[in-house]
Amino acid sequence: MEFGLFFLMQRDEAWSEQSVYDSGLAQMLAAESLGYSSVWIAEHHFNDYGLCPAPQVLASFVAARTKTLRLGMGVSLLPLHHPVDLAEELAVLDVVSGGRLDIGIGRGGTLQDYQTFQSDRADSRERVEEGIALMRYAWSGTPFDFQGRFHSAERLHVRPAPTQRPHPPIYIAANSEDSVLSAARLGLPTLSSFFVPVADLQRRHKLYRETALAAGRAEPEIASLERRAWGMRVVHVAHDHDEALSATEAPFMGYQRRMSALRSDATGGSVPSSFDRSLLRLRAFQDYLADGWALIGSPAEVRDGLSRYLDATGYERVLLLMALPGLSTELALRSMRLFAEEVAPKLERGR
C-alpha cells in the first residue's frame, strides 16, 4: 500500500491567503518523516476553491526541503498551457528534485479559465491527448518535428531533459467514463477523485481493462497500469469518533459549498456529461459520511472504512485529502500522525 496527500490549497473565509500556504506547507514538509510517499498539488485559477495556479512552483519549494518525498501535479490543466512550455517547466522540476516528479494531467476548469487562456473547452480532450504526445517528444532529449491539430514544431530540441527516463510518470485525471477510456487508449494510469461513487469506480475499472485490451495492450501491462492507479478519500483521524466529527463538519461542508459553486452553471465549471449532477447538490454532513465520501473518526473506524474501500476498488495507492479549508494546522498534523502510526501499518499487515 502507498499513501499520498492531496492539497487543493482551498481558502476558508476566515483565513488569509498566506495562512493557507503556511498550513499547507507545514503539512507537506511533515509528510516525508511520517512515511507518506508523495504530496500532490492541484492547479486552479481565479477562485478560492484552490489558491495554487502554479503547482510546479510550490512543488519546487517542497523539493528543496525534502529528500525522498515525491511531488505530484494533481493535476496540471494541460488545455490551459502550451504543451512545450509546460514540458519545460516540469523537466526543470524533475531535474532539481532528483527525479521525484509525478505528473497528473486533467481538463477541469471554469469557462473563465478557458476564456482567459484562449483555449476551447469543447476540444479539451483532443488538446490533452495531442499535448501529451507533444510533451513526450519534448522530453526525448533529441531534436524532433511535430505536426498536430493545435501545435506544430520543426527541429525543436527541448532542454533540459528530465532526470527520469523516458520521462516522469504521467497519470490521467479520470472522473468521467470518457477520461477512463482515453487513459486506457493512451496506456496511462488514472487518478480518481473521492466523489466518484464506488460502484462507478468498479464499472470503470472493467471499462479500462476492456478498452486497453482492445487497444492491443497485453495483460501484464494492463495489470501494471492498474496497480499504479490512484484512488482518493477525504480522511480525518482523531482519538475518538465525536472529536473527529466536531473538528471536520464545518471544514468539510465548507469544501462542499465551494465545490457546488465552482461546478454550477453560473461559473461554467466543468462537469462530465456522464456525471450525476445531483451529487453536487449540498446535502447534510451525515449523508456524505453515509455515502463514503469521507472517512472521519477514530483510527479503528478510518481503518475499517478504508479497508472496505480498498477491497471494493482494488486500489493499491490512495491519495488522502486531509487539508480541509479552515481545519487548523494542529488538527491536520495530528490526523496525519495518527493515520501514519495507527491506520496505515495495520492496513499493510491486513492485505
Rg from Cα positions in the chain: 20
For the segment 233-240, the average pLDDT, to the nearest whole number, is 97
Q: Residue 119 is placed in which grid cell? A: 483555449
Name the helix (H) or strand (E) containing 179: helix 177-186
Please write the tens of the pLDDT for every residue from 53-95. 999 999 999 999 999 999 999 999 999 999 999 999 999 999 9
For the chain, domains (ranges, CATH) are 2-349 (3.20.20.30)
What distance in Å separates the CA atoms of residue 274 and residue 176, rounded to the nearest whole number?
Answer: 6
Q: Residue 94 is placed in which grid cell? A: 524533475
DSSP H helices in 263-343: 285-290, 299-313, 329-338
Instruction: Report the pLDDT value the prediction gives residue 350, as an integer from 0 to 100.
Output: 57
Instruction: Report the pLDDT value the prediction gives residue 272, as an integer from 0 to 100.
Output: 47
Please write the tens of the pLDDT for every residue from 288-300. 999 888 999 999 9
What distance in Å separates the CA atoms of residue 321 and residue 193, rounded to the nearest whole number?
Answer: 10
Q: Is the whole model's pTM more than 0.85, yes or no? A: yes
